[in-house]
């Protein structure tokens, strides 16, 4: 018969704070999308917020085995990276205009990188780059419709653009460029085809 070994609430919270690299319970509560006073009440009663923990694990990809029992159950091959492993190779990117996340290989340490699916591609973009800074692919929002546009400087110093997947280039004046609603610069494209 299996014997359950109960551990303390404090042990669980300390483990979770360590994983999240939070200095106090308030920071941890905010990371778990809980009100700080809610976590404080749970601490007084030694009640683990299971619903919040499950949502947290789903959102971050962390293992519940790791959170509750401080152990990861590995796959048979040492080369396999489990989707719930907390490592530097994978990251949960927030999907643009949703509360969902997409777990992909890490491309940067920046938290400003988001994901979007366009035309059977996953585009990872930096939302902090919201104006033309150099040649590249930018995401443009036209009244709720997002397009990926390659914007570049022509030899004569003027600008041109073409939609991702199209080869025909169109001229773009400086005034038109300044009026574009750029929501980010694409850093990586992952094809789903």
Instruction: Give residue-wise pLDDT tens across range 105-118.
Output: 778 767 788 899 88
pLDDT digits (tens, 9 = 90+) for 156-175: 989 999 998 888 899 999 99
Q: For residue 5, what pLDDT is reported?
A: 54
Lowest mean pLDDT among 18-22, 29-33, 129-133, 137-141: 18-22
- For residue 188, what is the enclosing H or E element? strand 182-191
Q: Residue 58 region, left (φ>0) first, then alpha (ψ -120 to 50), else beta?
A: alpha
Between 7-11, 103-107, 110-114, 186-190, the lowest mean confidence (pLDDT) is in 7-11
Q: What percentage of the chain has pLDDT greater than the value 90?
A: 26
Query: In terms of Cα–Cα distance, which of 89, 84, 116, 86 is closest to 102?
Result: 116
Rounded Cα distance between 121 and 119, Å, is: 6
Query: CA 66, 85, 91: angle at the middle one, nearest 5?
Result: 130
Structural domains of the chain sorted by starting position, each given as residue range(s) with its CATH number in brackets:
9-69 (no CATH), 91-191 (2.10.109.10)
pTM of the model: 0.56
As to burial, measured by CB atoms within 10 angstroms (0-12 exposed, 13-18 middle, 19+ buried), residue 189 is middle
Report which secondary-structure segment, H or E, holds 177.
helix 174-179
* 6 contact partners, CB below 8 Å, separation of at least 6: none
pLDDT above 90: residue 183: yes
**Cα gap 90→68, rounded to integer Å:** 22
Give the length of the chain: 193
């Amino acid at each position: 018969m299996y014997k359950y070994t109960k551990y303390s609430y404090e042990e669980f919270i300390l483990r979770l704070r360590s994983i999240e690299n939070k200095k106090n319970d308030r920071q941890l509560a905010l990371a778990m999308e809980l009100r700080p006073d809610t976590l404080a009440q749970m601490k007084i009663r030694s009640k683990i917020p299971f619903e919040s923990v499950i949502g947290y694990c789903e959102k971050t990809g962390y293992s519940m085995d790791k959170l509750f029992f401080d152990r990861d159950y590995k796959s048979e091959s040492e080369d396999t990276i489990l989707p719930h492993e907390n490592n530097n190779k994978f990251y949960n990117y927030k999907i643009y205009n949703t509360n969902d996340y997409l777990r992909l290989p890490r491309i940067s340490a920046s938290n400003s990188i988001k994901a979007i699916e366009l035309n059977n591609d996953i585009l990872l973009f930096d939302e902090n780059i919201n104006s033309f800074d150099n040649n590249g692919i930018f995401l443009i929002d036209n009244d709720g419709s997002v397009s990926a546009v390659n914007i570049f400087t022509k030899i004569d110093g003027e600008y041109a653009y073409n939609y991702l997947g199209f080869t025909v280039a169109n001229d773009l004046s400086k005034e038109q460029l300044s009026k574009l609603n750029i929501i980010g610069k694409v850093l990586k494209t992952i094809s789903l085809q």
